Amino acid sequence: MSKPVGDPDFGRVQPCECQRAEQEALTAARLQRLSNLGPLSDARLTEEEASREPAASACAFADAADDEPGWLLITGKAGSGRTRLSAEMANRRIAKGRTALYFVAADLLDRLRAAMNASKGGDFSYALLFEHVRDAPFLILDDLDCISPTDWAREKLFQLLNHRRNSGRRTVKVAESADLSAIGLQSFLTLDVERLELGGTASGALYREFGGMTEDVLSQYTFDSFREQGLGGRGDAENLPRAKAAVVEWAEQPAGWLTLIGGTGVGKTHLAAAAANDRLAVGDRVCFAVVPELLDGLRASYRDEGEASFEATFASLKDVDVLVLDDLGAHQATEWANEKLYQLCASRYLRRAPTLITTNVAPESLDPRLASRLLDSQRGTVLHVKAKDYRTDQPAMVVSRQKRRPQRRG
């Protein structure tokens, strides 16, 4: 478009609308890659949702100029939409060509720890990664109160937030409650920090399943119907009575984790379903998930909306009273699958949320981050179930992942 003499752009070459649109798209794609949003890159609120409080205040905070010092604390129970609102704030900035960086706090600490331990490799050394996060114009730290509060973790988060406070970097802290004293960060919640509390939690029926263990099917699995003497009652079970007793005791008052390790067909699923059945009968919210089917369900939820969205589904898994993860290790160990399982288990592990896991894979063959949590005697119990396969009358073996047949993608 021609400009009149005297216009600041007179005589300058200007890109056409097509070129300008292409440049904006490239800029947005680059900002998305740098944002660390991953699957949350498409998480957006509708215009109507963004216009209602408290979302409107969060969006206004995201839209403010970067040279305006400001901190925001978003609190709310699991399933209240904290992560979805955080993603909206980041995505609306990126859509306008502005930088935003998003991290789940525990994931950030894991990356920093790995960078410190690595001799080389990766996109960032420890110093560069820490600087990248510390100096980001707009940073969102999600699940801040779900970290393991070690001295090292407290120190790193204090250093990070203290620098951002002193340098006036805009920062969003996301947590279940406003009490951050357990991780040594309460001093950052001063009067000038804006606060938004989200109401509501994930709703729905008491029972949910992934993999075909419907409530009708679940009702058929009881402790009374469990054959603790093994196949045909021939006494070929080495420790089934002890395994049953341990699960019965756990189901009476679930606390922490219980992991059943054993070969295929020894009765692990029956015991897990019986425990879930008992807890459902007393009014607990229960989810029974066959791990490969769970991962398929989470992946499919990316395409859905509302309560079926990934964020709502994942939040409900973190928050459910009793979670059964059946056949852990039967999934295809992709980077995405390992990351989702780690995030789910890390959240429940830190809160000591009752979780019953069955697997026929040796712990050392699992993701090391999961294995270390499974084997933590302060958080739960690991029980090896030893018996013949109920179905084939053959010795049941625990296997390592490298010996498994290729599984369908999960």
What's the number of CA atoms in the CB half-sphere (13 Å) around residue 153?
A: 17
pLDDT of residue 339: 86
Specify the CATH class of 207-403 in words: alpha beta
- Region of 68 on the Ramachandran plot (φ > 0 left; ψ -120 to 50 alpha; else beta): beta
pLDDT of residue 406: 38
Do the beta carbons of residue 78 and residue 9 sit within 8 Å? no
Encoding tokens for residue 299? 């992946």
Do the beta carbons of residue 289 and residue 320 sit within 8 Å? no
Q: Give Cα 333 to chain centroid, integer Å.
A: 16
Q: Where are the domains of the chain?
A: 17-197, 207-403
Q: Give Cα 372 to chain centroid, integer Å.
A: 17
Q: How far apart are CA 58 and CA 60, in angstroms?
A: 5
pLDDT of residue 338: 86
The strands making up 71-75's β-sheet, listed across from edge to edge, are: 101-104, 138-142, 170-175, 71-75, 194-197
* Cβ neighbours of residue 330 closer than 8 Å, sequence gap 6 or more: 290, 291, 292, 361, 407, 410
Instruction: Provide φ and ψ at 165, rounded to 5°.
Output: -65, -45
pLDDT of residue 227: 81
Do the beta carbons of residue 90 and residue 140 sit within 8 Å? yes
Return the closest-CA partner of residue 111 out of 160, 74, 73, 76: 160
- Which parts of the chain sit beneath pLDDT 70? 1-34, 39, 78-79, 119-124, 200-205, 230-238, 303-309, 388-410
Q: How far apart are CA 299 and CA 292, in angstroms?
A: 11
β-bridge mates for residue 320, sequence order: none
Encoding tokens for residue 311? 């964020």
Q: Which residue is associated with the tokens 């679940």?
A: 218
pLDDT of residue 408: 38
pLDDT of residue 235: 47
Instruction: Provide φ and ψ at 377, rounded to 5°.
Output: -70, -15
Return the closest-CA partner of residue 371 out of 337, 322, 338: 338
pLDDT in tens, 345-401: 888 888 889 999 999 888 878 888 888 888 888 888 999 987 765 554 455 545 455
Q: Judge if pTM exceeds 0.95.
A: no
pLDDT of residue 2: 58
| CATH 3.40.980.10 is held by the domain 17-197 | no
